[in-house]
A = this chain, B = another copy of it.
């Protein structure tokens, strides 16, 4: 594997010093920024995530801030999820679609107040889409990227660690809610959320200069909890069916194909720019959909689309895959046509190392 060349264009985060001190071994690039992918080994990180607590540099989840009288209107233009019932203090997972219903991003939105929102984005320059919409519609809204960098605390001991740093009140935060908590005199949004199914929090660290002090405070407070630096874990996120924008879904796909229909209320999401395009698919359902795929044998790294084939015909593709220690199979995420998406369907996956047999499942492992 080739090394990643250093340049200012690939931005360091407020936590990169801590990440490097912890011995990061691999990076990917996400929103023009460094995202760690492995510390000790993907398997060791996986086991540790499921048993202890990790601190994740997820500053790559940049925020798109909407502020002003038209902020709520603009927010609803972006997504087929109906936002009318959303209250300040709530987080919503919101598929973002273009005028054809194609996915542009799959962020978590935080409603700070009626006229102020943060969109915590996946890997695409959503800012460009939002700014141009605001401009084209002459909306009264400020759209910008603030100096906010999420730091995740994930794992079964996350509550204990967070309580030591932010106080016991963090334990009361409900899933996909956030509250405001002080760290060294700076108020920060703390949400119960994160890109794993091991439980935990995301701290929206306000101000680059506050990054390393908080990182160090968490590491210090969690010594006897076996805290360590971590990152979104490829194996665990596939077991959990957590999709990755750019990997498992792109602009080619509707939210319904991505299995995100439950987050769409297309009929009532009035103002969404993709609403017209999605009404029909929302009613009739998609012709292909995300599925869990169990692949037999020894697989290489999934760095490209793997076609899924049945009786010589292409019926889908695998886009993420990893060997799972806990489930004794290769866990994978794929998009499968409706003719072959039923539980237990046997298919063939064509990797760069040759064809492998596989089974389609309707549910993910975790």
Residues of chain A having any CB pair with chain B under 8 Å: 1-10, 12, 24-29, 32, 37-38, 98-99, 104, 123-126, 128-133, 135-137, 244-247, 273, 301-305, 319-320
Taken together as a complex, chains A and B put the C-alpha atoms of A305 and B208 apart, in Å, by 14
Is A27's CB under 8 angstroms from B8's CB? no
CB within 8 Å for A301 and B129 given contacts A29-B29, A99-B135: no
For A25, the chain B residues whose CB sits under 8 A away are 2-3
CB within 8 Å for A304 and B8 given contacts A27-B2, A29-B29, A128-B124: yes
Q: Which of A131, A246, A273 has the most CB atoms of chain B within a 10 A radius of its CB?
A: A131
Is A302's CB under 8 angstroms from B4's CB? no
Taken together as a complex, chains A and B put the C-alpha atoms of A137 and B137 apart, in Å, by 8
Is B2's CB under 8 angstroms from A29's CB? no
Give which listed residue, B1, B3, B133, contacts A6 with CB less than 8 A.
B1
For A5, the chain B residues whose CB sits under 8 A away are 26-28, 37-38
Give which listed residue, B38, B135, B247, contacts A9 with CB less than 8 A.
B247
Taken together as a complex, chains A and B put the C-alpha atoms of A29 and B9 apart, in Å, by 10
For A132, the chain B residues whose CB sits under 8 A away are 128-133, 136
CB within 8 Å for A302 and B7 given contacts A26-B2, A27-B2, A136-B136: yes
Query: What are 12 pairs between A and B in contact, CB < 8 Å?
Result: A1-B3, A2-B24, A2-B27, A3-B27, A4-B27, A5-B27, A8-B320, A12-B303, A32-B246, A128-B129, A128-B132, A129-B132
Query: Besides the contacts A2-B26, A3-B3, what 15 more A-B pairs have beta carbons closer than 8 Å?
Result: A4-B27, A6-B303, A7-B28, A7-B302, A7-B320, A8-B320, A29-B29, A32-B124, A104-B128, A125-B128, A129-B131, A132-B132, A132-B133, A135-B136, A135-B273
Q: In the complex, how many angstroms separate the beta carbon of A302 from the nearest chain B beta carbon? A: 6
Is A7's CB under 8 angstroms from B273's CB? no
Taken together as a complex, chains A and B put the C-alpha atoms of A123 and B10 apart, in Å, by 10
Taken together as a complex, chains A and B put the C-alpha atoms of A99 and B127 apart, in Å, by 13
